[in-house]
Structure 1
Amino acid sequence: MTAIFPHKKAKALKAGSRRPAKELCSECGLCDTYFVHYVKNACAFINQQIGALEQQTHGRERLTSRQLPILENPDELYFGVHQQMMAARKVEPIEGAQWTGIVSSIAIEMLNRGMVEGVVCVQNTKEDRFQPMPVIARTPEEILAARVNKPTLSPNLSVLEEIEKSGMKRLLVIGVGCQIQALRAVEKQLGLEKLYVLGTPCVDNVTRAGLQKFLDTTSKSPDTVVYYEFMQDFRVHFKHEDGSLETVPFFGLNTKELKDVFAPSCMSCFDYVNSLADLVVGYMGAPFGWQWLIVRNDTGKEMLELVQDQIETQPVTSQGKRQEAVQQSIPAYDKGVTLPMWAAKLMGVVIEKIGPKGLEYARFSIDSHFTRNYLYVKRHHPEKLESHVPEFAKQIVKQYKLPE
């Protein structure tokens, strides 16, 4: 057994001990298990291997301008291997869900129909609504207890040992890009008959202390925030305990104060769209109030069909041009520029009317974060620049003029 599964001889790293990825550790949880044996191969920040894992998961790597000119193939270059994209929302939203509850609904259907024996998802601790607590949900009630995003680093993979020891053979895992890359890298060692992966897009995460700094700096009532999201109208939307909504324009954020709040792993990430999931559910490429669905393979199609009668859909659209806005944002972020609130609100109104929408807004978000992250890696980890930045990200970044 140990010859077949050498990881069972490995010991998890104790909390607080030095991680193999050092300061780039995203705290995905892999190192908290005996699967740490595989970390040097599996960790997204030690061994970036999106292309090889796309081949393993989807049967092929995404097309880039090495095969097709960039302007002829923008969707796959940006959004990864996929069969279809659409905008969707539940006809009857789940109460208390961050959006309409598509992720929770798919997970519940898979559990109720016996397709899986458990669902890896993230609840929160009783003491803190923002403190993530990864669990293997075995009932619909446990899945619903995980609704609403936790915008902090979360050790989702810390439950891998429990999965193996439980004898589960069919599993659904919900997670973000760095977690899913590590999961795909050790997938064959889990002893599963079937693994389903439902991914969510992810841009910037923070530690719990970093989150508090963001809330304190940005919201008028940080202690009552239930959840928040950076939305397509170029505003941060805060939902409060009393049901009220507070919005703050992107351009009014205290960039100088918040530049260092994001985790170094997030500042070094190039998998915002969760390339290795079977199905991705987010919002950035959809109209306001809708969710953006990316079906990557036949497994993802199977998952989406479970809730087809519960959702309404519409085609994705794309409008406006992003390049000028992205180019202007590069030095503004680099210098920590913050506009007066009146100017930030005015700019937000103007850009909302004439700026990028739909898939073009998603490309705007990808471009602005990839250029920022490329600069971060170049400045802080120049020895990793060539191997760590995927080919598709290099092609996206080449569209812009970057400072030194």
Structure 2
Amino acid sequence: MAYVRRACAFLNQRFEAMETAAHGRSRDLANEDELYFGVSQRMVTARLRPAIEGAQWSGIVSRIGVRALETGLVDAVLCVQQSPDDRFTPLPVLARTPEQVLAARVNKPTLSPNLEVLEQLPGSGIRRLLAIGVGCQVQALRAVQDTLPLEQLYVLGLPCVDNVSRAGLQTFLESASDSPATVVHYEFMQDFRIHFRHSDGREETVPFFGLDTPKLKNVFAPSCLSCFDYVNGGADLVVGYMGASFGRQWLTVRNPRGQELLDLVETELDLAPVSSRGDRRAAVQQGIDAYDKAIKLPRWLAELVGFIVQRVGPQGLEYGRFSIDSHFTRNALWVRRHHPEKAEDHIPGFAKAIVARYRLPSL
């Protein structure tokens, strides 16, 4: 674990070296798609048919984990179950059965020490591992993978922004949901609304623009406010929603290992090409200023803005760029204000190129 601490993504940024080691090259900054979404061999959108019952969306990530075990591709899957005492408290495990993988379905949007379970590898008999994780976890894993007693490592990545502590999550739920005690999972979706699923099956939606920004502005972890790996650039295969139309998942294959993982489930997927529509730039600039001033809109106005943006705003890959631009500009400003001495080295080149397209508030 000492290696993991030294490899912390928030202490040592090494995107180019990580991408080159994992994929054989770093992203092409002259290619607009790679500038935003990282090294790519293939990008598609998909739905799993039939969906896994109880999955957050259709269950593509869980099905890949199950198939990896069933086919013998790996001996174990590093995934995150939930604490028996609290549905949002993460419990990292080395799953050895499909049932253990399925028990990890649904995101836990709180900080999770996934790599702690690597200490269990020596003597476990695990020689081939599938690790599922978010960007900061994958960066640390890539930095230490040569020290692990493994013959093969596959990495299935999730796009990720704005994790919180368990206490921070509670603050968010209480400020945003009409029934925080019954929320099972939630996601910020492409229709510019937060979708909450409740334990009774009810779905509640809240417009992005209706959040209590003054209350929530400082609830996110400092690590997340200094992160520029939204798209999980070190993973072999990435599965998320940010670059897909509403109701579908966005998949990016970064290297041959990523295609191996996709091969496990491709015949079970309803596949479609990626698409893009709209122009994000004005919305991003307006959002920068609104967030910095911690503006809170009245609910009726938030609903109206959400209605309009949902119909004329960015969709598909352009929505993904909207989300990346919004978070990179916010995070670059946060780093420059709170750690100006580290900003030049900490903010990677691709993020600088994106941030430079916008006007940021003064430091």
SS in 2 for 1:239: strand
The reply to whether residue 308 of structure 1 matches residue 274 of structure 2 is no
Q: 2:74 aligns with which of 116, 131, 150?
A: 116
Matched AA of 2:54: G
Aligned to 1:190: 148
1:253-287 deviation per Cα after TM superposition (whole angstroms, max 9, x unaligned): 00000001100000000000000000000001111
Q: Distance in 1 between matches of 2:276 and 2:305?
A: 21
Following superposition, the deviation at residue 213 of structure 1 comes to 0.4
Aligned length: 362
Residue 251 of structure 2, aligned match among 278, 281, 293: 293
- Would you identify which runs of 4 or more consecutive aligned residues in structure 1 move more than 2 Å? 37-40
Code of the residue aligned with 1:51 in structure 2: it is E
- Post-superposition offset of 1:165: 3.5
Please point out which of 377, 391, 398 is paired with 2:335. Answer: 377
Structure-1 residue corresponding to 2:27: 62
Amino acid at match of 2:5: V
Alignment of 1:2-401 (within 5 A): 35-37=1-3, 39-40=5-6, 42-64=7-29, 68=30, 73-401=31-359
Counterpart AA for 2:27: R
Deviation for aligned residue 1:38: 5.1
> Counterpart of 1:98 in structure 2: which amino acid?
Q
The Cα offsets for residues 86-115 of structure 1, whole Å up to 9 and x where unpaired, read as 110011000000000100111111101111
TM-score by length of 2: 0.99
Using the TM superposition, name which of 200-209 and 159-168 deviates more: 159-168
Letter in 2 for 1:36: A
| Amino acid across the alignment from 2:18 | L
The 3-state SS of whatever aligns with 1:166 is coil
Q: Which amino acid in the other structure matches residue 357 of structure 1?
A: Q
- SS of 1:396's equivalent in the other structure is helix
Superposition deviation, residue 331 in structure 1? 1.1
CA contact (8 A) 2:232 2:238 kept: yes
Secondary structure at 2:291's aligned position in 1?
A: helix
Task: Give the secondary structure class of the aligned counterpart of 2:13.
Answer: coil
1:309 is displaced (CA, Å) by: 1.3
1:37 offset after TM fit, Å?
3.8
Q: Share of identical aligned residues, percent?
A: 64
Deviation at 1:167, TM superposition (A): 3.3
Distance in structure 1 (CA, Å) of the matches to 2:225 and 2:88 = 21
Query: Secondary structure of 1:164's partner?
Result: coil
Provide the alpha-carbon RMSD of the alignment: 0.7
Counterparts of 1:172 and 1:38, CA distance in 2? 18
**Structure 1 length-normalised TM:** 0.89
